[in-house]
Amino acid sequence: MARFNRIIRQITGLKTGPTVVFFAGIHGNEKAGVYALKEVLKALTQEHVRGNIYAIAGNLEALEKNQRYLDEDLNRIWTVDRINTLKSKPKLTIEETELRELYSLLTTILQKHKGPFYFFDLHTTSSKSLPFITINDALINRSFSKQFPTPIVLGIEEYLNGALLSYINQLGYVSLGFESGQHDDIQSVKNHEAFINLAMVFTGLVKLSNPEDFNTYYNQLKKAGKYSSHFFQIIDLHCITQDNHFKMCNGFDSFQNIRKGEKLASHSQGIITSKYNAKIFMPLYQQKGSEGFFIIRSINANFLKLSAWLRFLKADGVLSLLPGISWHNKEKGVLKVNLKVAKFMTKPIFHLLGYRSKQTDATHLLLYNRERVAKTKMYKGEGWY
């Protein structure tokens, strides 16, 4: 009998409320989220729940084998094109089979319930790390995530293609990734348990009968997170392939300060040194994976306030009036930018207005705006909004 079931737990509450969906084990060597969901939800009943909760296991076959993935990374194939090919493809990879089942389940949940919807993807890292949240940069994600006393990292969608949460964000729903710590650290399970309990309270799914329990979970993450609710921005990624023979230097933890010129890793072409005075983020200490390490910097609070104000005013509308910039798909908030123009408009300008670059061809850049697709009206009645 398999040790992992697709539905870890599903509860329909006696009262109406939000629909909260947790994913865990999208990577098969990241079991902490699965164990935490089982522990937290085992005593939860319909009487406790206001709304609906789903706890879903991701890559079942990879979980059984304790491997990140078997044929390909399940958290890099959540694209519309890839999902559409599953309908007619005669033979699927292991991860495509998992994707098809998860997509069907996700579609059923969205059709069955009215919302508001909340999605959480639980992960761990190969390096030592304090717990942190990753979000696609939409204001509803910012507002919801800053309730948690952990660092919040923006901009990951610019560097990862086909992530589950990016797909859900394109649908317009609140969605957060939570990384609780190193894969096999027991504290990672405890951090996930604290996050799950806080998430259920912040969404309005449950009320903790004992305020001391809430304070315990909150203070646990606050102590482990160190930086409280500071926002960080990904500014670079070092991509790798199996042929690179990439090897991280020992001793780097996520959020550790690094200096320009410092030795970070080695590969078949030689030594890799830092291009920045910044912080290293998610350095790779496992065999499978295509991201060697990220580089992050803190974001000025005034920048965040200005970007929220400009987005509220929909100031991005003037961009399409500029030479070399036009709507690729206005309904979905996608701009097409001539690269000759883009080089004069730095990333921070586009970031202020809510745009993240996602794909390029020889002459043009496509920019995606999360605000234009965000289902903001769905969340206006929520206490955190």
Tokens of 333: 């908030």
The answer, yes or no, to whether residue 1 has pLDDT greater than 50, is: no
Sign of CA dihedral 200, 205, 207, 208: negative
Residue 7 Ramachandran class (φ > 0 left, ψ -120 to 50 alpha, else beta)? beta
The answer, yes or no, to whether residue 284 has pLDDT greater than 50, is: yes
The answer, yes or no, to whether residue 31 has pLDDT greater than 80, is: yes
DSSP annotation of 375 reads -
* Most confident stretch, 28-42, 153-167, 195-209, 305-319: 28-42
The answer, yes or no, to whether residue 356 has pLDDT greater than 60, is: yes
Q: Do residues 199 and 149 make contact, with C-beta atoms less than 8 angstroms apart?
A: no
The mean pLDDT value for 222-232 works out to 85
List every span in the chain annotated with CATH 2.40.50.100: 234-298
Judged by DSSP in three states, 295 sits in strand
Q: Do residues 58 and 98 make contact, with C-beta atoms less than 8 angstroms apart?
A: yes
Summarize pLDDT for 37-46 with one digit per residue, the tens: 999 999 899 9
The 3 state secondary structure assigned to 41-57 is: HCCCCHHHCEEEEEEEE
Residue 317's alpha-carbon distances to 288, 332, 342, in angstroms, are: 42, 13, 16
pLDDT score for 322: 82
pLDDT score for 340: 77
Judged by DSSP in three states, 168 sits in helix
pLDDT band at 365 (very low <50, low <70, confident <90, very high): confident
The answer, yes or no, to whether residue 209 has pLDDT greater than 80, is: no
Residue 375's alpha-carbon distances to 161, 163, 222, in angstroms, are: 22, 20, 30
Tokens of 117: 């919807």
Tokens of 287: 């065999």
- pTM given for the model: 0.93
H-helix or E-strand containing 321?
none
Q: Do residues 286 and 68 make contact, with C-beta atoms less than 8 angstroms apart?
A: yes
Counted residue by residue, the chain has a size of: 385
Q: Which residues contact 309 (CB under 8 A, 6 or more apart)?
A: none
The answer, yes or no, to whether residue 323 has pLDDT greater than 90, is: no
Summarize pLDDT for 104-148 with one digit per residue, the tens: 999 999 999 998 999 999 999 998 899 999 999 999 999 999 999
Q: Cα 385 from chain centroid?
A: 20
List every span in the chain annotated with CATH 3.40.630.10: 7-229
Q: Do residues 22 and 120 make contact, with C-beta atoms less than 8 angstroms apart?
A: yes
Question: For the chain, what is the mean pLDDT?
Answer: 92
- The Cα 24–Cα 35 span in angstroms is 9
CATH number at 234-298: 2.40.50.100
pLDDT score for 351: 86
The answer, yes or no, to whether residue 358 has pLDDT greater than 90, is: no
- The Cα 303–Cα 297 span in angstroms is 13
pLDDT score for 2: 55
Which CATH class, in words, describes the domain spanning 7-229? alpha beta
Q: What percent of the chain has pLDDT over 90?
A: 72
**More confident: 273 or 3:** 273
The answer, yes or no, to whether residue 167 has pLDDT greater than 90, is: yes
Nearest Cα neighbor of 128 from 214, 231, 253 is: 253
